[in-house]
Structure formats: C-alpha cells, structure tokens
C-alpha cells in the first residue's frame, strides 16, 4: 500500500468512527457497508461492549451475518450472548448454513434449540440437517445453498435461474446438474455457460464426468481432491449419488491450514497449538498430560540406566556421553519421523513399497551413523586420550543412529497400518523411545567390553 492510499484509508475509518460518535446512522451505514465483510469484522473487533451494542442497532441481522462469518469461533461465542435472542436467531438464519452450524456447534444444546425455534423455518431445517454430520467430514463443511439445474433446461433458462439465486448461493461459478431423482449427473461452469449459445441444452454443454466426494469423507481427503483438480467447488453426494451440498474452495483453504496446525501440534506433543492461551493454567492444561506421560517414559530410561549402576560405578566417565548419544538418537528419529509422517499426509508414498522405504531409511541411518561415529571416535580420542573409549562411543553412536532412524520411520508406518493417525507419533514421543534404545546399546556395549575400558 502506498503512503497516499494509507492516508486515505485512515481518513475513511476516522469518518466511520465519527459517524458512530455523532450517532449519524446514515453516514455510518454508507461508509461501513462499503467495506469488505472481513474489514467490517476487523473494525467490529475494535469496539468495546457499548460500541458493539450500538452496532447491533445500526445494522440489520443480515448485515451482521457477514461480519459474523469473518470472526473466530471464540469471538462468535462471546458476541452472540450479548445479542437479543431474536436478533441472534435471525442473524444465524441469514448466515451461510455451514458457517451458522460452526457457531451453533460451540453453544449449549438448550441455546441451540431456542435459536432454532425462533428462526425462520427454512433456515432452521437446513441448519438442522447439517448439524447431524460428524465433525471434520465433508458433510460438516458443506453448504446447502447451491445452484442446481436440470439436463433438459436451456442455457438461457439456466442463466435466468443463476440471476435469481446469485444473491443467496455461496457460489454461482459451478452449476451442478441433477436428474429427476436429484441424482448428480453433470456439471457446467459459468465460464462455459456464458460462452454457450442461449438456446443450447444443458445436457449438450455439461461435463458428465463430474468429480464428487461422499458425505462421510474426511475433510483432509476432500481438501486433497480440491487441490489436485484445482476446483472452486466440489459436489457432495450420498451413497446413491444424490446431490446433498457443495464445498467451496474458501472452506478448503481453512481446512488445509487447520490440518497443518494439527500435524504441527501433535508433532510437538500439545493438544492444540493454535489457540492463543490467555493464562498459564489453560496453557499448562494442554501440555501437562503429555509431559506426565513423557515423565513416566523418562523414569523407564532412568531405571534402565539404574541396571548398569555397577558399570557406572567402575567407569563414571561413561555418564559424560549419555546426553550426546541419546540426543543424537532423538534427532535422527525426529528427522525420519517428519519425512514419513509428511509423506503419508501428502500421499507421496502411494504405490511405493513399504519395504523399499524401510531399506532406504536403514541406509540413510547407516550413512549418517558412519559419518557421525567416525567423527566422534576421533574427537573423544583427542579429548580424553583413550582410543578405546572413543571407539566405544563412536560405534555405539553408529548402531544407535541406524536403529533410531529405523524407529522414526517404522513407528508412523505401523500406526498408519493400524489406522492410527501417524502424526500422533510426536517428536518428544519418538525421542523418548530412542532414549531407551540408545541407552541399551551404549551401556550394553560398555558392559560387554568393560575389560578394555578399565
């Protein structure tokens, strides 16, 4: 943004603020409603409770719906409780059904019921239908406000329907074609429609190879289909191919972000990385369960080392290299884990044999292990002047890196096999497992070759 336009923007917002202060409703509406709903929402968030109360009277429930669609769930929950119930219900009815469902999903059952009772019947029915679908499925993110036409209609008729539906439909750029039983039989884009002649029949211009997703499909799979085909909207069907709704690309953009954050959270062993915590207690609640589990795993490592107490008593210097070996095992395991988890998520491994992948990871571990092992052997030799100690640490590191790399790759693969989301195999989790493996190898070898160390 240039300096000039920035100044203009500032003035524009000042005018809106002044209009509110002077209670000049007309000027406020003229300026405010010209903003994009996202900017309206940003402005709305700058208001305190009094300001918001004023805005609820200045704006109709329909106008408020646009703002609400651009707020975060927690914000929606707070603001809807401030509104007069009839205003809130009318606003929910004016929102796109999929967005309204997102809001309602956060509220108490009684509250939902009372809003649905006051609401316009049609809107209430649409919302009730959507509330049934399980979270994170195609059904839960689809909308029922779409345009559908019939095969025997002409291009001109179709355009007429489009003009009528345009204000309410979530998108009019893809028009889905259904038969007499509401089964999906084709699709035509608005682009093709405006190029076609007015008297042509839809069935002659539509594509009958239409890609659809089933209503129970996971949202991550839906996102992949949308991304692969570069669609702006995808039809959602039941098992008999009846058209139930559509999913638009803007919802998919949110899904992709959400899934990426989710993978990230799991990787770091936190329940939910993405909501900002207002106080340390809510933050600790999300992290402590994992930490306590990891603490008990850590105690297992400790008790394992405890078994080698005799070895340690004789050669205390062995302790010096525990964090090095355990740490390196954790690092290489995390790397292998990330590659495999991400590969599974993006579908890159499809068609590749698991065996090949495992052999490759073992090879990678062997190469990394050899390089690091040789390095460490010499460093320890020059530092402590004990070649055998260097050899022990180096060789332990080599073995550890091979096994740890394999573990990092195998754990998510096995989880995937058993239909557990491999992203749960978080970094800290694999790190702790690899701690145990590395200690076993290191102290096992030290104990076996004790005579050479003394």
Pick one of 14, 33, 84, 268: the residue that binds its own copies (CB under 8 A).
268
Which span sits near its own copies by CB under 8 A: 74-82, 133-141, 149-157, 161-169? 161-169
Strand order in the sheet with 174-178: 148-150, 174-178, 184-189
Pick one of 50, 109, 110, 167: the residue that binds its own copies (CB under 8 A).
167
C-alpha distances out from residue 354 to 56, 172, 346, 425, Å: 59, 44, 16, 18
Residue 36 DSSP one-character state: -
Strand order in the sheet with 213-214: 213-214, 233-237, 243-248
Is 287 near its own copies (CB under 8 A)? yes
Smaller CB separation from its own copies, 292 or 448? 292
Estimate the crossing angle of helix 322-346 against helix 354-384, to 10 degrees.
160
What is the contact mask toward its own copies in residues 182 to 201, using x (rule: CB under 8 A)? --------xx--xx------
Site for its own copies in 218-257 (CB under 8 A): 226-230, 232, 239-241, 249-250, 252-254, 256-257
Is 385 near its own copies (CB under 8 A)? no
CA distance 200 to 10: 51
Is 326 near its own copies (CB under 8 A)? yes
Q: How far is the CB of 53 from its own copies (least distance, A)?
A: 23
User: Where is 193: in which H helix or E strand?
Assistant: helix 190-195
Is 291 near its own copies (CB under 8 A)? yes
Dihedral angle at the C-alpha atoms of 196, 201, 202, 207, nearest 10 degrees? -80
Whether residue 235 contacts residue 176, with contact meaning beta carbons closer than 8 Å, is answered with yes
CA distance 288 to 271: 10
Which span sits near its own copies by CB under 8 A: 17-25, 80-88, 143-151, 278-286? 278-286
Estimate the crossing angle of helix 249-267 against helix 219-229, to 10 degrees.
120
Which span sits near its own copies by CB under 8 A: 83-91, 114-122, 123-131, 335-343? 335-343
Is 97 near its own copies (CB under 8 A)? no
CA distance 283 to 4: 43
83 forms beta bridges with none
User: Where is 178: in which H helix or E strand?
Assistant: strand 174-178
Is 34 near its own copies (CB under 8 A)? yes
Residue 319 DSSP one-character state: G
User: Where is 66: in which H helix or E strand?
Assistant: helix 61-68
Is 346 near its own copies (CB under 8 A)? yes
Q: How far is the CB of 113 from its own copies (least distance, A)?
A: 30
User: Where is 275: in which H helix or E strand?
Assistant: none
Is 16 near its own copies (CB under 8 A)? no
Smaller CB separation from its own copies, 378 or 449? 378
Pick one of 55, 88, 159, 202: the residue that binds its own copies (CB under 8 A).
159
CA distance 211 to 122: 29
Smaller CB separation from its own copies, 383 or 388? 383
Is 84 near its own copies (CB under 8 A)? no
Pick one of 342, 386, 445, 450: the residue that binds its own copies (CB under 8 A).
342
Q: How far is the CB of 260 from its own copies (least distance, A)?
A: 3
Neighbouring residues of 230: CB distance < 8 A, sequence distance ≥ 6: none
Smaller CB separation from its own copies, 134 or 257? 257
Pick one of 50, 122, 281, 454: the residue that binds its own copies (CB under 8 A).
281
Is 265 near its own copies (CB under 8 A)? yes
Pick one of 78, 113, 379, 448: the residue that binds its own copies (CB under 8 A).
379
């Amino acid at each position: 943004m240039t300096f000039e336009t920035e100044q203009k923007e500032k003035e524009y917002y000042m005018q809106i603020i002044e209009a509110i202060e002077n209670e000049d409703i007309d000027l406020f509406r003229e300026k405010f409603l010209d903003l994009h709903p996202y900017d309206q929402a940003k402005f709305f968030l700058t208001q305190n409770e009094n300001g918001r109360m004023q805005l609820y009277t200045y704006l109709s429930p329909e106008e408020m719906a646009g703002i609400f669609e651009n707020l975060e769930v927690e914000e929606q929950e707070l603001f809807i409780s401030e509104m007069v119930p009839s205003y809130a219900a009318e606003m929910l009815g004016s929102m796109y059904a999929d967005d309204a469902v997102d809001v309602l999903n956060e509220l108490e059952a009684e509250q939902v019921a009372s809003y649905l009772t006051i609401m316009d019947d049609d809107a209430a029915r649409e919302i009730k239908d959507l509330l049934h679908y399980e979270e994170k499925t195609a059904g839960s993110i689809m909308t029922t406000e779409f345009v559908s036409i019939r095969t025997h209609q002409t291009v001109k008729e179709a355009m007429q329907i489009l003009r009528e539906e345009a204000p309410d439909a979530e998108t009019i750029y893809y028009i889905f074609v259904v038969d007499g039983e509401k089964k999906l039989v084709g699709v035509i884009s608005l682009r093709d429609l405006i190029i076609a002649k007015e008297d042509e029949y839809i069935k002659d211009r539509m594509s009958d190879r239409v890609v659809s997703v089933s209503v129970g499909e996971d949202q991550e799979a839906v996102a992949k289909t949308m991304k692969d085909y570069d669609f702006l909207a995808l039809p959602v069907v039941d098992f008999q191919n009846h058209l139930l709704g559509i999913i638009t690309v803007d919802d998919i953009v949110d899904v992709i972000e959400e899934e990426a954050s989710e993978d990230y959270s799991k990787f770091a062993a936190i329940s939910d990385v993405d909501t900002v915590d207002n106080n340390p207690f809510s933050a600790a609640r999300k992290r402590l369960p994992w930490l306590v589990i990891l603490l008990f795993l850590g105690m297992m490592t400790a008790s394992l080392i405890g078994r080698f107490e005799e070895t340690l008593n004789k050669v205390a210097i062995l302790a010096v290299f525990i964090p090095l070996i355990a740490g390196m095992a954790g690092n290489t395991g995390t790397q292998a884990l990330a590659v495999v988890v991400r590969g599974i998520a993006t579908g890159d491994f499809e068609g590749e044999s698991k065996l090949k992948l495992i052999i490759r990871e073992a090879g990678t571990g062997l190469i990394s292990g050899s390089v690091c092992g040789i390095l460490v052997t010499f460093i320890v030799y020059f530092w402590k002047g004990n070649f055998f100690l260097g050899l022990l640490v180096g060789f332990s590191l080599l073995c550890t890196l091979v096994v740890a790399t394999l573990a990092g790759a195998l754990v998510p693969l096995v989880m995937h096999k058993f239909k557990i989301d491999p992203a749960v195999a978080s970094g800290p989790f694999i790190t702790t497992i690899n701690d145990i493996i590395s200690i076993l190898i290191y102290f096992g070898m030290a104990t076996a070759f004790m005579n050479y160390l003394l």
